[in-house]
């Protein structure tokens, strides 16, 4: 039996691999839809409670004014989206937000700052935020842009559990979306994070105008990292007025679910996060995503600067589907 057949058999085995070819990933992605979901759900149950969903809260601790030109991002200085830049938050305000998130049921608290890379005194303040949030009994996560090795080790010493740094899309399509930071820059940051002993949170965005082959290539890149990301956020593009992608056509819902299911099969032990874009998804689409192996969401009305279902709506959806926080 060859390696791919483990994921195509009647009883798929949870084989964690880092040597996927694009042809193999494409073969999984293009399975008949029912078969794809069966394979993904079967593997999911070997590692996770199928009715448990890890719940995170994301807070923008420094908003806007980012020098990068990511075509999807309302926080870029290159685009007029009506977003007013905000300075780095006070530490006590961040701790209060974390406390409220924990009381609302979140188990992980993610802090995002619109920087190319953190510097100086501001970085020192972030280190204190991480330490204080961890003391609240929450897993800690940060997304601060590019890191060097010294910064990654400092975050680890402060108690950071996860660092988010997405690849966004395939290496081939990446230059159509971002020109101010290279694909290798992103991979280098992931290396620094892994070497420091911090769990990696890394995924991508679908609906940017990429082709299916780009989605295949992105998932192949993620699955072939030296260690699979502990969390794999799959974002659906949120089309923000003023960004170059504001008129981008919607991605097909079934294609999105295929992306979730393939991520689950390729990275069976990772949390697969149904991330940005949920506000535009029906309950039925989200239900299919959970069936396909998604087992993490952001909980709260806002993701950095864009909308997210409110906690009441998520509570209703969880009750309807019989899901519970992990």
Catalytic positions, written as ranges: 66, 70, 73, 110, 141, 201, 273
DSSP 73: -
CA angle, residues 222, 225, 231, in degrees to nearest 5? 55
Q: What's the rounded Cα separation, in Å, for the pair 292 and 42?
A: 9
Q: What's the rounded Cα separation, in Å, for the pair 30 and 19?
A: 19
Question: DSSP for 167-229?
Answer: -BS-HHHHTTT-SSS-HHHHHHHHHHHHHTTPEEE--EEE-SS--HHHHHHHHHHHHTSSS--
Question: DSSP for 5-72?
Answer: GGGTSSS------S---HHHHHHHHTS-HHHHHHHHHHHHHHHS-TTEEEEEEEEEEEBS-B----TT
Contacts of 168 (CB under 8 A, 6+ apart): 70, 174, 177, 178, 186, 204, 205, 208, 218
Q: Is 146:185 a contact under the CB 8 Å cutoff?
A: yes
CA angle, residues 74, 75, 78, in degrees to nearest 5? 85
Q: Is 198:156 a contact under the CB 8 Å cutoff?
A: yes
Q: What are phi and psi of 263, to 5 degrees?
A: -60, -45
């Amino acid at each position: 039996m060859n390696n791919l057949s483990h994921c195509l058999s009647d009883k798929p085995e949870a084989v964690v691999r880092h040597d996927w070819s694009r042809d193999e990933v494409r073969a999984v992605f293009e399975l008949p839809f029912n078969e794809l979901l069966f394979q993904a759900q079967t593997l999911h149950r070997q590692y996770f409670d199928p009715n448990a969903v890890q719940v995170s809260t994301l807070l923008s601790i420094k908003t806007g004014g980012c020098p990068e030109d990511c075509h999807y991002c309302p926080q870029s200085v290159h685009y007029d989206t009506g977003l007013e830049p905000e300075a780095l938050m006070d530490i006590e305000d961040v701790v209060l937000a974390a406390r409220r998130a924990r009381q609302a049921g979140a188990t992980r608290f993610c802090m995002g700052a619109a920087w190319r890379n953190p510097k100086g005194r501001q970085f020192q303040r972030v280190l204190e935020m991480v330490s204080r949030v961890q003391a609240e009994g929450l897993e800690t996560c940060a997304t601060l842009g590019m890191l060097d090795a010294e910064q990654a080790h400092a975050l680890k010493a402060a108690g950071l559990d996860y660092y988010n740094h997405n690849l966004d899309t395939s290496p081939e399509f990446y230059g159509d979306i971002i020109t101010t930071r290279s694909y290798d820059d992103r991979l280098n940051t992931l290396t620094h994070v892994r070497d420091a002993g911090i769990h990696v949170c890394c995924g991508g965005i679908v609906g940017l105008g990429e082709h299916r082959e780009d989605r295949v290539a992105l998932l192949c890149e993620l699955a072939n990292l030296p260690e699979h990301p502990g969390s794999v956020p799959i974002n659906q593009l949120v089309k923000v007025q003023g960004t170059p992608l504001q008129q981008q056509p919607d991605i097909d819902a079934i294609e999105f679910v295929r992306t979730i299911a393939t991520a689950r099969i390729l990275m069976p032990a990772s949390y697969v996060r149904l991330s940005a874009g949920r506000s535009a998804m029906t309950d039925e689409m989200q239900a299919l995503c959970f069936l396909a192996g998604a087992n993490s969401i952001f909980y709260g009305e806002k993701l950095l600067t864009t909308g997210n279902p409110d906690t009441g709506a998520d509570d209703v959806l969880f009750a309807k589907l019989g899901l519970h926080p992990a």
